[in-house]
Amino acid sequence: MKNRDPGRASSAPPRREGENSDQAVVVEDGRAKSNEPVSSAVAEPEATTLRHEPHEPPRQPLPAKLFEKRTKVHNKRIDGPFRRFKWLVMLVTLAIYYGTPWIRWDRGPYAPDQAVLVDLANRRFYMFGIEIWPHEFYYVAGLLIMAALGLFLVTSAVGRAWCGYACPQTVWTDLFQHVDRFVDGDRNARIKLDAAPLGLRKIVKRAFKYTIYLVIAFWTGGAWIMYFADAPTLVRDFWVGEAAPAAYITVGILTLTTFTLGGFMREQVCIYMCPWPRIQTAMMDEKSLLVTYKDWRGEPRGSVKKAKKNPEKFGDCIDCLQCVAVCPTGIDIREGPQVGCITCALCIDACDKVMAEVGRPRGLIDYATLEDCEKEANGEVARPPWKALLRPRTIAYFLIWGSVGLAMLFALGVRSHVGLSVSPDRNPPYILMSDGSVRNSYTLKLRNMESRPRAMEIALQGLPGAVMWTDTSGRDAAARTQVKTVPADQVLVVRAYVIAPEGVDTQEFSFRVTSRDEQRESAETEARFDTPGGSE
Amino acid sequence: MTNKRIDEPTGTETVGHEWDGIEELDTPMPRWWLWTLYLTIIWGVIYVILYPAWPLVDRATEGVLGWSSRGELAEEMSVVDQARVSMREELSRIPIERLPENSELFTQAVAGGRSAFQVHCSQCHGSGAAGSKTLGYPNLNDDDWLWGGDLKAIEYTLVNGIRAPGVEDTRTSLMPPFAGVFEPAQIDGLVNHVLSLSGKATSSSSGAQLYQDNCSICHGPAGEGDRELGAPRLNDAIWLYGSSREQVREQILNPKMGRMPHWIGRLDPVTIKMLSAYVWSLGGGEEFVEVSENPAVEVDEEP
């Protein structure tokens, strides 16, 4: 490489390590030429002649550190409409999380009375009036699809509102930050305390704070397991040491994760660990509502004093850094939309307050779409933010989301509450009886999804001349139909022996189960009758 | 190692080797990695002290907890056995012919019998209890019983076995070999008559006569068999050793007679009860009839 072009090598000054010459400019034949690539789109015609032979690119020293050390966020207290909304969302979401397992829902004597219950032991999922069995797990898949579409909808309509208000990481981080404020005081006091040497006062304060952290974390872990068992019973069992080991392990793990994720990692989870901000970044466009600093209005920044002296020269931003101080993720919103911004809008509250104090219009930082910002900057009248919600994409998302929900509700409404599965014995496939007739054995599973016992009639469809009996009825009771009582909310396993007269060929037939009540729900399942002789 | 130097752009020391101009940075391990390594070392030391760890010539170090996988299994088994105690006790008290009335106990007995069957019986009768025609093991699913198909009869067979050597009460019967007794033509007639009992052939008067003289004492004039003697029915569709002419002829000349070991002494009475319930539940079980036609024959004796 070095000796590829001796002519050039002679004219270009050889570079030595540590030489601090300007690598962007190379002197060749007495003319300075750029070492940077020049796009043909912008270069003047003579640029071709001005360009020199390619050189080794200038060596860029690596940044000394690839790891950016975290600066701890001490966000300042703020009050305003968005903060109050955040309080409300926090209250509602925490109340839902901690309170839901305690809601009761009467399902009669045969089913648990907890409104929301994931009964892993009995493999049932109860949610108010809905009961889901394991084979209906597609409803849960449907719920997850709805959750994903809901996030798309919210993202395309109001940007990262999920991140800013409802995400558990945000809610618990917010909660823990309030604990910080309660124990250590507001921003300045906390910064001071952090910098202070470890003394008795600091130790006591830290111990007190971490105790509160732990209590919240434990309560959070404890609330989680309530969804998987009868809550009052589980609380009693938990404290007398009779709960399942899984309960203690789960509480332990969730206590630990809540303690670390909410107490210490906080915004780092959003910035470094969570995939959702990246996905959302890809989903947003110039029509998405997001928290925006209106730089066309704010720049250039200057203090109130400077602006008074020279009102023409400065924008509305007085560079008071209040927006940075209140930010729970510690970013500067004036640098534009960024992955660290969870759009909690606390900076809007802070900025509006300052603007009111200095007598300038509110909304220097505001919810706006980039498109509207551009319009506004050009002097046009901006639409009110709620109009940004109604556009084809959000409507399409809403329609898809709604139709998935409606389809699931419809499927839930018309689903059958009886079921039948048939598994024929394969060993032996058929049994020759002493009178020459042929017997096949089947294991039937009768499913009763009502929370009351139901009498069900099993009937043979097809297979002329055949009769059946069951393991409990005996051969004397052999007939074309049998009646069984299936316990409430259970599957009854029935052994059915079907016997067909001599000479019957191997053939398909089916079992039909019908509930003997006013609903008369039924289900039919195909089976095969094997014989030694004929084929299909 | 003397060439160690600080790499200027990164500020990291190099390892001191150089390969054709390439040097390697001596980047320290990430802290979390190092701590995990230390933790695993501590964990390893504690584990070696507490649990069996070092293999010796014929055993291993025992560890202070005294844990062993065999011990754990024994403990788990005893827990399971404890849980079954009440069921087994109840099962040992109930007379077997009353078992089907207690459906919960019966279900448990059938389940227990199923697993015992897989261990002790499936070698001959097959895992599906379908037996084997070529080897002469009877199918237990059907409704044809050589020695009786009610619960008591099945239990008796299990307890005492069939032609079990050295067992006094074993079920036993003898089909005499007729090799060299008949002329070939006589044999053909006899085979025809036997097959005609179930409609598989047409009989002749000579064959019928031979049957009456030699076979009907045990197998009955119409081939209905005799369970008290263990003489199989000949007028049904089930043929333990096959229904072709050759197979029937072979069975007359050199009869095969199956054996079944007795199980009392090898299995406890409760397990035998469970096995009886399982075999009975396979679909061919017969109702127990209280009064025996011939009171002299006590097949229902409790072992």
Amino acid (one-letter) located at A85: F
Give pLDDT tens digits for B80-108.
Answer: 989 889 999 999 999 998 888 888 899 89
User: What is the spatial distance between Cα B237 and Cα A469, in angstroms, rounded to a whole number?
Assistant: 21
The DSSP symbol for A372 reads: H
Q: How many CB pairs under 8 A join A and B?
A: 60
Of A439, A493, A498, A441, whose CA–CA distance to A468 is shortest?
Answer: A498
Measured in residues, chain B has a length of 303
CA distance B53 to chain A (A): 27
How much is the average pLDDT of B241-267? 92
- Half-sphere exposure of B295 toward its Cβ, with a 13 Å CA cutoff? 1
The CA dihedral of B43, B48, B53, B54, to the nearest 10 degrees, is: 120
Interval A322-343 mean pLDDT = 90
Which of A427, A472, A497 minimises the CB distance to B103? A472
Residue A97 CA, distance from chain mean position: 15
Choose among B166, B174, B173, B176: nearest CA to B261. Answer: B166
CA distance B123 to B117: 9
DSSP letter at A264?
I
Answer whether B283 touches A (CB < 8 Å).
yes
Tokens for A171? 């809610």
Is residue A277 a contact partner of residue A331, using CB atoms and an 8 Å limit?
Answer: no
Task: Decide: A513 and A449 in contact? Cβ < 8 Å.
Answer: no
Q: 3-state DSSP call for residue A27?
A: strand
pLDDT of residue A51: 52
Q: B8 vs B226, which has greater pLDDT?
A: B226
Q: Would you say A501 and A465 are in contact if contact means Cβ atoms under 8 Å apart?
A: yes
Nearest C-alpha neighbor of A489 from the set A453, A444, A443, A446: A453
Confidence of residue B4 (pLDDT cuts 50, 70, 90): confident
pLDDT tens, A415-457? 888 999 999 988 888 998 988 899 999 999 999 988 889 999 9
What is the homologous superfamily of the domain B184-253 according to CATH? Cytochrome c-like domain (1.10.760.10)
What pLDDT score was predicted for residue A30? 66
Global ipTM? 0.74
Asked if A20 has any chain B CB less than 8 Å from its own CB, the reply is no
Mean pLDDT of A212-233: 94
Domain range B71-170+259-297, CATH class? mainly alpha
Q: Which of B141, B200, B287, B289 to mutate to test the interface with A (most CBs of A within 10 A)?
A: B141
Nearest residue of A to residue B277, measured between CA atoms: A471
Strand pairing class (A438-448; A431-432): antiparallel
Q: How far off is chain A from B263, nearest CA to CA, in Å?
A: 25
Q: Which of B6, B32, B110, B142 to mutate to test the interface with A (most CBs of A within 10 A)?
A: B142
Average pLDDT, chain A: 85
Per CATH, which fold does A418-529 belong to?
Immunoglobulin-like (2.60.40)
What single-letter amino acid sits at A467? V
Q: What is the pLDDT of residue A24?
A: 57
Cα–Cα distance measured from residue A152 to residue A525, given in angstroms and rounded to the nearest whole number: 41
Output B58-66 pairs: Cβ under 8 A, ≥24 positions apart. none
Q: Which residues of A touch B143 (CB under 8 A)?
A: 433-434, 475
pLDDT in tens, A43-61: 566 655 555 555 556 666 6
Tell how strand A25-28 and strand A31-34 pair up.
Answer: antiparallel
B60 pLDDT tier (thresholds 50, 70, 90) = confident
Can you give the residue ranges of every domain in chain A? 6-49, 84-279, 288-382, 418-529
What integer is the mean pLDDT of B118-128?
A: 93
DSSP A140-208: HHHHHHHHHHHHHHHHHHHSSHIIIII-HHHHHHHHHHHHHHHHH-SHHHHHHHHHS---HHHHHHHHH
CA distance A467 to A499: 6
Estimate to the nearest angstrom the gap between the alpha carbon of B117 and the chain centroid: 3
Q: Across A109-113, A192-196, A219-223, A529-533, which has the greatest mean pLDDT? A: A219-223
Q: What is the mean pLDDT of residues A206-212?
A: 95
Residue A357 main-chain phi, psi, to 5 deg: -70, -40
Facing residue for A64 by CB, picked from B11, B233, B281:
B11
Contacting residues for B92 by C-beta, under 8 A, at least 6 apart: B269, B270, B273
pLDDT digits (tens, 9 = 90+) for A349-381: 999 999 999 888 888 998 888 888 888 888 887
Do A430 and A531 contact (CB within 8 A), yes or no? yes
A10 touches B: beta carbon within 8 Å: no
Residue A198 amino acid letter: L
Share of chain B above pLDDT 90, in %: 57
Structural contact between residues B145 and A434, judged by C-beta atoms closer than 8 angstroms: no
Q: Where are the domains of chain B?
A: 1-65, 71-170+259-297, 184-253
What region does A363 belong to: left with phi over 0, alpha with psi -120 to 50, or beta?
left
The residues near B28 (Cβ < 8 Å, ≥ 6 apart) are: none
Q: Which of A435, A439, A474 sits opposite B236 (nearest CB)?
A: A435
Q: Which residue of A has its CA nearest to B141?
A: A431
Mean pLDDT across B260-280: 93
In chain A, which residues have their Cβ closer than 8 Å to the Cβ of B281?
471, 495
By Cβ distance, the residue of A61, A431, A472 closest to B142 is A431
Nearest to B225 by CA among B142, B144, B131, B133: B144
